[in-house]
């Protein structure tokens, strides 16, 4: 092991980090301590802000194994630094899953050895786990007291413990039972007996207390953390400086602002912590029953649970305190905490397959239908005879699903947005400007032999002027107002910083069912199969002649419905299907259970009116025999729940009185047909299915199989679903109608007009999805859809993609070869037929793995992604973000959580008011919330730009004034500063942010960053204008005939001498030389300049409502204008004395007014004409709106680039030889000149090392 090695922890995961080991160095610590004393504690602050400097300045590099301190750096785009202290824990062994009896007892063993003496007590989580004599932990310790304890090294970061592993020579996280990678059969065989108390205490040392501890920090801790923010430290420095310069009023005002800001921030943070704490602790500590290895059932607190414990789920349900896999019985669970959907889910016991027969390693994601997740509500349980419903604990604490969710809230990733990065760069520019002023003021003061104290104070004062203290509060105002407006529109936000990012969204993904289409499915009809051929379609199955058919039996049994408080509850599709049969579902009573040999929790039967009429009977005995024989009931013996990966579900059922059982299956037609005997599937199956799916129907296929008589109930409970779901007989199709929501087409058309691409991501059938995409306008009728069928490597054959062209509604020829002419981007483009790619989840996975470069090209024009699993939806979002799209995602909450969290702006249509799974949640159950969110995002983004530009100009204007006054050894007065900063700046900033969003979405987007041509041009031109007019004022006043250096005895106002010479005996000398003609003139001009740039920068259309509709802003600016004009033309002695303004002749006041009028005219002319009309169209549109690969506005919403715009932009592109900034633009530009793109129909692309071979299929 080399010294100073670099380790990688959480490899391949979202929280992947580089790790370096360090050891504390005493002489370095002493040197740093001396530096802290010399700098008055500033060095300590710097090391607090920069963890990497802290570690490198106080420690020396060492191996990770011997480290006392670890320095970690994230490998994502943020490259954040973290440090953690390595701690040592004593334990009887190093592996929590080893049996204590089998631990190595040799004192020389470095890896696992029990305790040596009672004094060596193991410590976990800062607590001793054996507080009193006689406890299990105390017995554990005394039992191994003769042996050397093992030292376990670990560190804690973000509520996760990382333990040193000798086997892999790295730090690892102990997740739970999954660390053993047990197979399903192994869990049944080795983990269902329970743990002994000793084993439970031993594992608790490693896994800690089963508690998701959200500690609410004390107000003092929060205050210290908030106050140590660099911004507040800078404010503290400013206040001290102003106090030293006797600017008490301004210092007090800033302190007041800071106190209000800190108090508000502390209140908000504390409230969020309390809300999260209350959400987590609700029902988190409960009493649970666990099975011990000696078959006893013991009641313990849920905080004592460890992975491997066998938990008994109570009959009346519970809130799950951990993640556990069900090994016996069935549970009905509400998982709304995780998914946002309150539809009850049936959880069945983990299949116990024989070794090698479909026995896979247990995984919480793959086996989620058998896993009870922490925080979910078990509504009720079902069990057979006296068997308890048991679950094996697999994860505890922060490793659980709920724990991971809470961790993502406690430790969120920073928001990566160009605006914020540019803001820091802009502040650095202001600091550089301040540095110039700092040097200038020092040189000037030294030349005039100013005292050293004054030089220091005035030089540092320049820095506090240039970097505005109110900037963060001002930037936040627009977001807060937007959040309030969103709330009024029924959109709730838990991540306010994302509102600005939503203003940049140029692509929106939509789930289909429940989002674009109605949530509820209606049964359109059924099409049964008999003798391998389809019957004519029928409206429903509620008929006497079908009541005893296998088709209806399948509809009545193959579902996951349950009765909760007497009401049928479950998946909406299952509900519609079951209701269409007219059958009755009953939970099995004890009497009914005995009839079915105690095997069924649920019984279904048809209503009596559908059964054949009863014949006349002669005796009571005959009556009883008949009732027994004519009772037509089906009991559900075993359920294999629906799996999105398998795209099917099945049940094993038995008809009352029958010895043999039946298997029923329903699912995606293609999947069901592939599991049926070929001779039972009609020959025209593909054509019939395609006909329905192209019309937009959702099609479900049914199948049946008579099981062997040798299969008993016990065998069925342990059999793999692969044994059941094979050699089925095809029964027919159920056709469900999923209507478009009335708002969908109109909203999508609005998005298309705004040049926002729309993409469908669904778990439904490919052709159904394409049909819906055409119906809602996502794909125009005349556009071509290219289906990419990808196949992974098979029997030595490389991975390949087969391209085929889907039918157009107006054409009859299948797989038509479409000639798409592609011209050079710099030539005038010719009209060409537009195309869209469609693919399913399997193809997407294959292309992502074997054709990564191809995937980027496909997502550029991919419009329909069907049969997508939840994790694939997230991968698609990442792929789109990888080519620089700003991606939005809209889903109904179920299965979309990962994608909603990953997208730049995810909005859930869940009915829950605030879903922790999505940054935005809409109360309105349709996509009308999407344009509202984007409009508010654009308005907030433009507001942020306006405020930032205004604050930058405010600083520079004040900086110019002060710098000019420094040249005559003067400055602005204390109350002048106060008037400008409080009365003008704060009022204007907080009112100019109130403009509501514009009513329509326009085709262009706001800029994404401050470092862009138009914005820089705007700021720099306004700076030059203000600089020019202030210099003009400063020099012009000195050229006036009446000008003379001002003294208290100076009288240039003729009849207004009393304004200057009142009570001269009591007049103190003006030590700071505040009162002079230059100061007064610059104060008037600069005060008007603040208002001028506020109006100029307060942009309205096309992203915000016009400023004249913002009444608070209008009243504020008009009020300030009136006040300033009043004191300019009608001096008031008390006001002039307060603001330290001197009297100037009336003709100079008129000249000042002329300067202000010309200044305003030039500012407005430059900003509105030159910037908005000329530069916006020529530079900004080219820079940001070159819609390479983005659909144009109507009338062809999803096709390509409008030809005239395209012509101009292409010409500009060629003229300037500038490559597009966004990767998707660059790719689209390349593909325009690629003669082999898009792929021709009936061709195949094969993966061949790093190249692709394209073959024509014969």
How far apart, in whole angstroms, are the C-alpha atoms of residue 863 and residue 780? 11
How far apart, in whole angstroms, are the C-alpha atoms of residue 566 and residue 542? 23
Average pLDDT over residues 118-129: 35
Lowest-confidence range among 39-43, 272-276, 918-922? 272-276
Residue 794 neighbours by CB distance under 10 Å: 9
Q: How many CA atoms lie within 13 A of 1142 on its CB side?
A: 28
How far apart, in whole angstroms, are the C-alpha atoms of residue 31 and residue 435? 30
Task: Give the DSSP H or E segment for 523.
Answer: strand 522-530
State yes or no: pLDDT of 100 exceeds 80: no
> Which range, 96-110, 445-459, 677-691, is most confident?
677-691
State yes or no: pLDDT of 296 exceeds 80: yes
Average pLDDT over residues 1210-1224: 55
Lowest-confidence range among 378-392, 974-988, 1121-1135, 1227-1241? 378-392
| DSSP helix/strand/coil, 164 | strand
In this prediction, residue 1117 carries a pLDDT of 93
In this prediction, residue 1258 carries a pLDDT of 39
In this prediction, residue 519 carries a pLDDT of 65
**Are 953 and 1093 within 8 A, CB to CB?**
yes
In this prediction, residue 427 carries a pLDDT of 77
Lowest-confidence range among 231-235, 437-441, 1107-1111, 1201-1205? 1201-1205
Lowest-confidence range among 652-656, 744-748, 830-834? 830-834
Average pLDDT over residues 249-254: 73
For residue 581, count CB atoms less than 10 angstroms from its CB and return exposed for 0-12, middle for 13-18, buried for 19 or more.
buried
State yes or no: pLDDT of 508 exceeds 90: yes
In this prediction, residue 1252 carries a pLDDT of 53
State yes or no: pLDDT of 50 exceeds 50: yes
- What's the start-to-end Cα distance of the chain, in Å? 59
Mind giving me the DSSP string for 698-760? EEEEEEEEEPPTT--HHHHHH--HHHHSSSBEEEEEEEEE-PBPTTHHHHHHHHHHTT-EEEE
Average pLDDT over residues 505-533: 82
Q: Given pLDDT bands bounded at 50, 70 and 90, which one contains residue 1150?
A: very high
Q: Given pLDDT bands bounded at 50, 70 and 90, which one contains residue 1177?
A: low
How far apart, in whole angstroms, are the C-alpha atoms of residue 1158 and residue 1088? 12
Lowest-confidence range among 199-203, 340-344, 509-513, 1027-1031? 340-344
The DSSP bridge partners found for residue 1010 are none
CA-CA-CA-CA torsion sign (52, 56, 59, 63): positive
CA dihedral 97, 101, 103, 108 (to 10 degrees): 160
Q: Given pLDDT bands bounded at 50, 70 and 90, which one contains residue 1119?
A: very high
Q: Given pLDDT bands bounded at 50, 70 and 90, which one contains residue 639?
A: confident
Q: 564-568 contacts: CB < 8 A, separation 24 or more?
A: 564/332, 564/344, 564/379, 564/380
Q: pLDDT (tens digit, 9 = 90+) per residue, 784-816?
A: 888 888 888 877 788 888 888 876 553 333 333
How far apart, in whole angstroms, are the C-alpha atoms of residue 75 and residue 81? 10
How far apart, in whole angstroms, are the C-alpha atoms of residue 862 and residue 766? 13
State yes or no: pLDDT of 1251 exceeds 60: no
CA angle centred on 322, ends 320 and 326, rounded to 5°: 75
Q: Which residue has the tokens 């939503």?
A: 502
Average pLDDT over residues 603-624: 61
In this prediction, residue 116 carries a pLDDT of 32
| DSSP helix/strand/coil, 1030 | helix
| DSSP helix/strand/coil, 531 | coil
In this prediction, residue 610 carries a pLDDT of 65
Q: pLDDT (tens digit, 9 = 90+) per residue, 981-997?
A: 888 888 888 888 888 88
Higher pLDDT, 956 or 576: 956
From residue 4, give the alpha-carbon distance in Å to each of 75, 171, 186, 442, 583: 18, 15, 41, 46, 71
The DSSP bridge partners found for residue 318 are 378
Residue 1203 neighbours by CB distance under 10 Å: 14
Higher pLDDT, 1208 or 1226: 1226
How far apart, in whole angstroms, are the C-alpha atoms of residue 990 and residue 1105? 16
**Are 309 and 177 within 8 A, CB to CB?**
no
Residue 699 neighbours by CB distance under 10 Å: 24
In this prediction, residue 143 carries a pLDDT of 53
3-state helix, strand, coil in the chain (%, to 5): 45, 20, 40
**Are 802 and 791 within 8 A, CB to CB?**
yes
> Which range, 39-53, 409-423, 988-1002, 1085-1099, is most confident?
1085-1099
Residues comprising the chain, all counted: 1258
Average pLDDT over residues 868-894: 82
Task: Please give, one letter per residue, the 3-state secondary structure of 659-688.
Answer: CCCEEEEEECHHHHHHCECHHHCCCCHHHH
Q: Given pLDDT bands bounded at 50, 70 and 90, which one contains residue 865?
A: very high
In this prediction, residue 166 carries a pLDDT of 85
Average pLDDT over residues 1189-1193: 40
How far apart, in whole angstroms, are the C-alpha atoms of residue 921 and residue 909? 6
Q: Given pLDDT bands bounded at 50, 70 and 90, which one contains residue 617?
A: very low
CA angle centred on 41, ends 40 and 45, rounded to 5°: 145
In this prediction, residue 394 carries a pLDDT of 92
State yes or no: pLDDT of 1198 exceeds 60: no
Please give the positions annotated as active site.
511
How far apart, in whole angstroms, are the C-alpha atoms of residue 175 and residue 362? 13
Q: Locate all alpha helices (DSSP H) within 993-1058, ordered by sequence.
A: 1013-1038
In this prediction, residue 897 carries a pLDDT of 66
**Are 327 and 392 within 8 A, CB to CB?**
yes
Average pLDDT over residues 134-147: 50
Average pLDDT over residues 390-419: 78
In this prediction, residue 828 carries a pLDDT of 39
How far apart, in whole angstroms, are the C-alpha atoms of residue 561 and residue 921? 28
| DSSP helix/strand/coil, 562 | strand
In this prediction, residue 917 carries a pLDDT of 56
In this prediction, residue 214 carries a pLDDT of 80
How far apart, in whole angstroms, are the C-alpha atoms of residue 416 and residue 884? 13
What the block records as the tokens of 879 is: 């792929």
State yes or no: pLDDT of 2 exceeds 60: no
- Spatial CA neighbour of 1050 closest among 1036, 1067, 1031: 1067
Task: Please give, one letter per residue, the 3-state secondary structure of 1145-1209.
Answer: CHHHHHHHHHHHHHHHHHHHHHHHHHHHHHHHHHHHHHHHCCCCCCCCCCCCCCCCCCHHHHHHH
Share of the chain above pLDDT 90, in %: 9
In this prediction, residue 1126 carries a pLDDT of 92
List phi, psi (to 5°) of 782.
Answer: -90, -5
In this prediction, residue 1061 carries a pLDDT of 42
State yes or no: pLDDT of 260 exceeds 80: no
Maximum distance among all alpha carbons in the chain?
134
In this prediction, residue 1056 carries a pLDDT of 45
Q: Given pLDDT bands bounded at 50, 70 and 90, which one contains residue 644?
A: low
How far apart, in whole angstroms, are the C-alpha atoms of residue 1110 and residue 1102? 15
How far apart, in whole angstroms, are the C-alpha atoms of residue 1257 and residue 1246? 12
**Which of 602-618 are b and which e, b meaning 16 or more Cβ less than 10 Å from the residue's Cβ?**
bbbbbeeebeeeeeeee
Q: How many CA atoms lie within 13 A of 470 on its CB side?
A: 26
Task: Give the DSSP H or E segment for 70.
Answer: strand 69-74
State yes or no: pLDDT of 909 exceeds 90: no
In this prediction, residue 119 carries a pLDDT of 33
Q: What is the pTM of this model?
A: 0.71
Q: Given pLDDT bands bounded at 50, 70 and 90, which one contains residue 325?
A: very high
The DSSP bridge partners found for residue 564 are 567
Q: What is the CA radius of gyration of the chain?
A: 37
What the block records as the tokens of 754 is: 């705004």
Return left, alpha or beta for 867; rule: phi > 0 is left, psi -120 to 50 is alpha, else beta. Answer: left
From residue 935, give the alpha-carbon distance in Å to each of 502, 886, 920, 1250: 8, 15, 14, 43
Average pLDDT over residues 274-302: 80
Average pLDDT over residues 96-124: 44
**Mean pLDDT across the chain:** 77
How far apart, in whole angstroms, are the C-alpha atoms of residue 322 and residue 767? 41
> Which range, 166-170, 333-337, 593-597, 911-915, is most confident?
166-170
From residue 1057, give the alpha-carbon distance in Å to each of 445, 1054, 1133: 33, 6, 11
What the block records as the tokens of 518 is: 């109605």
All residues at 6 or more sequence positions from 27 whose CB lies less than 8 Å from its CB, including other chains:
none
């Amino acid at each position: 092991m080399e010294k100073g090695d670099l380790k990688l922890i959480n490899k391949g995961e979202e929280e992947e980090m580089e790790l370096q080991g360090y050891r504390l160095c005493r002489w370095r610590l002493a040197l740093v301590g001396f530096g802290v004393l010399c700098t008055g504690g500033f060095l300590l602050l710097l090391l607090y802000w920069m963890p990497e400097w802290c570690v490198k300045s106080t420690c020396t590099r060492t191996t990770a194994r011997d480290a006392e301190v670890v320095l970690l750096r994230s490998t994502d785009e943020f490259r954040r630094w973290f440090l953690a202290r390595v701690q040592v824990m004593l334990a009887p062994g190093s592996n929590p899953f080893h049996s204590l009896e089998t631990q190595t007892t040799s004192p020389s063993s470095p890896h696992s050895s029990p305790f040596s003496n009672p004094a060596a007590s193991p410590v976990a989580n800062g607590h001793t786990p054996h507080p009193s004599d006689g406890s299990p932990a105390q017995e554990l310790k005394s039992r191994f007291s003769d042996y050397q304890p093992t030292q376990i090294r670990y560190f804690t970061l973000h509520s996760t413990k990382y333990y040193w592993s000798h086997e892999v020579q790295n730090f690892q996280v102990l997740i739970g039972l999954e660390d053993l990678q047990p197979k399903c059969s192994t869990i049944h065989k080795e983990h269902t007996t329970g743990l002994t108390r000793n084993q439970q205490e031993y594992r608790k040392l490693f896994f800690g207390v089963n508690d998701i501890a959200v500690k609410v920090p004390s107000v003092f801790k929060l205050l210290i953390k908030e106050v140590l923010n660099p911004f507040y430290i800078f404010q503290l420095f400013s206040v001290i400086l102003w106090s030293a310069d006797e600017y008490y009023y301004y210092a007090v005002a800033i302190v007041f602002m800071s106190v209000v800001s800190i108090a508000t921030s502390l209140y908000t943070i504390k409230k969020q912590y309390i809300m999260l704490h209350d959400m987590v602790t609700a029902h988190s500590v409960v009493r649970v029953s666990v099975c011990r290895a000696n078959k006893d059932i013991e009641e313990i607190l849920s905080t004592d649970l460890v992975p491997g414990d066998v938990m008994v789920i109570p009959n009346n349900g519970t809130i799950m305190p951990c993640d556990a896999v069900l090994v016996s019985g069935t549970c009905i669970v509400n998982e709304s905490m995780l998914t946002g959907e309150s539809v009850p889910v049936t959880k069945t016991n983990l299949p116990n397959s024989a070794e090698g027969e479909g026995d896979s390693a247990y995984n919480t994601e793959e086996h989620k239908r058998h896993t009870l997740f922490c925080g979910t509500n078990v509504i009720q349980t079902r069990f057979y005879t006296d068997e308890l419903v048991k679950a094996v604990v697999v994860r505890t604490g922060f490793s659980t699903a709920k724990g991971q969710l809470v961790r993502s809230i406690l430790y969120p990733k920073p928001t990566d947005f160009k605006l914020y990065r540019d803001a820091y760069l802009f502040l650095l520019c202001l600091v550089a400007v301040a540095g110039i002023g700092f040097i200038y003021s020092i040189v000037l003061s030294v030349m005039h032999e100013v005292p050293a104290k004054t030089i220091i104070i005035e030089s540092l004062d320049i820095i506090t002027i240039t970097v505005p203290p109110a900037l963060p509060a001002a930037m936040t105002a627009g977001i807060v107002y937007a959040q309030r407006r969103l709330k009024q529109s029924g959109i709730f936000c838990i991540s306010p910083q994302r509102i600005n990012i939503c203003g940049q969204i140029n692509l929106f993904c939509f789930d289909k069912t429940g989002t674009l289409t109605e949530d509820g499915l209606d049964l359109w009809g059924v099409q049964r199969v008999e003798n391998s051929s389809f019957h004519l379609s029928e409206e429903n199955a509620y008929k006497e002649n079908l009541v005893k058919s296998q088709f209806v039996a399948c509809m009545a049994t193959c579902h996951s419905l349950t009765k909760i408080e007497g009401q049928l509850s479950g998946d909406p599709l299952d509900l519609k299907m079951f209701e269409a049969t007219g059958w009755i579902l009953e939970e099995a009573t004890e009497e009914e259970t005995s009839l079915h040999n105690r095997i069924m929790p649920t019984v279904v039967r048809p209503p009596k009116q559908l059964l054949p009429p009863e014949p006349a009977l002669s005796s009571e005995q005959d009556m009883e025999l008949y009732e027994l024989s004519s009772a037509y009931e089906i009991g559900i013996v075993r359920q294999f729940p629906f799996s999105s990966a398998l795209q099917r579900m099945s049940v094993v059922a038995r008809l009352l009185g029958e010895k043999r059982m039946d298997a029923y299956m329903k699912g995606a037609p293609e999947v069901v047909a592939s599991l049926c005997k070929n001779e039972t599937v009609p020959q025209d199956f593909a054509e019939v299915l395609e006909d329905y799916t192209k019309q937009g129907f959702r099609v479900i296929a049914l199948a049946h199989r008579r099981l062997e008589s040798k299969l008993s109930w016990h065998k069925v409970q342990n059999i793999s679903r692969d044994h059941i779901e094979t050699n089925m007989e095809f029964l027919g199709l159920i056709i469900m109608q999923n209507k478009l929501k009335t708002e969908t087409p109109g909203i999508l058309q609005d998005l298309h007009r705004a040049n926002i691409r729309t993409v469908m991501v669904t778990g439904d059938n490919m052709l159904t999805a394409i049909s819906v995409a055409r119906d809602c306008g996502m794909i125009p009728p005349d556009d071509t859809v290219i289906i990419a069928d990808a196949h992974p490597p098979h029997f030595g054959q490389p991975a390949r993609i087969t391209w085929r062209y889907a039918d157009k509604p107006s054409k009859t020829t299948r797989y038509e070869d479409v000639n798409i002419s592609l011209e050079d981007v710099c030539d005038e483009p010719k009209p060409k037929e537009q195309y869209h790619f469609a693919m399913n989840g399997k193809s997407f996975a294959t292309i992502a793995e074997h054709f990564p470069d191809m995937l980027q090209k496909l997502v550029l024009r991919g419009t329909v992604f069907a049969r997508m699993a939840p994790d694939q939806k997230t991968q698609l979002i990442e792929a789109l973000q990888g080519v620089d799209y700003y991606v939005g995602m809209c889903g109904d909450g179920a299965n979309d959580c990962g994608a909603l969290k990953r997208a730049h702006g995810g909005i859930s249509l869940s009915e829950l008011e605030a879903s922790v799974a999505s940054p935005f949640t809409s109360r309105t159950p349709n996509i009308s919330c999407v344009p509202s969110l984007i409009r508010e995002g654009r308005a907030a983004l433009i507001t942020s730009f306006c405020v930032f530009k205004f604050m930058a100009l405010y600083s520079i204007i004040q900086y110019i004034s002060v710098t000019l006054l420094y040249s005559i050894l003067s400055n602005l007065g204390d109350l002048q500063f106060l008037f400008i900063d409080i009365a003008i700046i704060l009022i204007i900033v907080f009112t100019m942010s109130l403009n509501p969003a514009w009513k329509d979405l326009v085709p262009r987007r706001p800029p994404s960053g401050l470092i862009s041509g138009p914005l820089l041009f705007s700021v720099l031109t306004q700076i030059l204008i203000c600089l020019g007019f202030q210099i003009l004022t400063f020099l012009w006043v000195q050229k006036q005939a009446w000008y003379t250096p001002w003294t208290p005895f100076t009288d240039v106002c003729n009849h207004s001498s009393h304004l200057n010479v009142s009570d001269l005996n009591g007049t103190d000398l003006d030590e700071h030389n505040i009162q002079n003609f230059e100061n007064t003139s610059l104060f008037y001009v600069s005060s008007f300049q603040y208002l001028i740039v506020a109006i100029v920068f307060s942009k309205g259309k096309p992203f915000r409502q016009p400023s004249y509709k913002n009444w608070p802003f209008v009243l504020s600016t008009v009020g300030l204008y009136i006040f300033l004009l009043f004191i300019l033309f009608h001096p008031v002695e008390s006001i002039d004395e307060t603001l330290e303004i001197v009297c100037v002749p009336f003709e100079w006041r008129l000249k000042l007014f002329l300067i202000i009028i010309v200044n305003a005219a030039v500012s407005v002319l430059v900003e509105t004409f030159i910037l908005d009309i000329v530069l916006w169209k020529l530079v900004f549109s080219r820079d940001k709106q070159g819609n390479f690969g983005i659909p144009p506005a109507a009338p062809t919403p999803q096709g390509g680039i409008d030809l005239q715009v395209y012509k101009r932009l292409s010409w500009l592109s060629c003229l300037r030889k500038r490559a597009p900034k966004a990767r998707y633009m660059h790719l689209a530009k390349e593909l325009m000149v690629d003669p082999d793109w898009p792929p021709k129909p009936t061709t195949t692309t094969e993966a061949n090392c790093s190249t692709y071979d394209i073959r024509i299929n014969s």
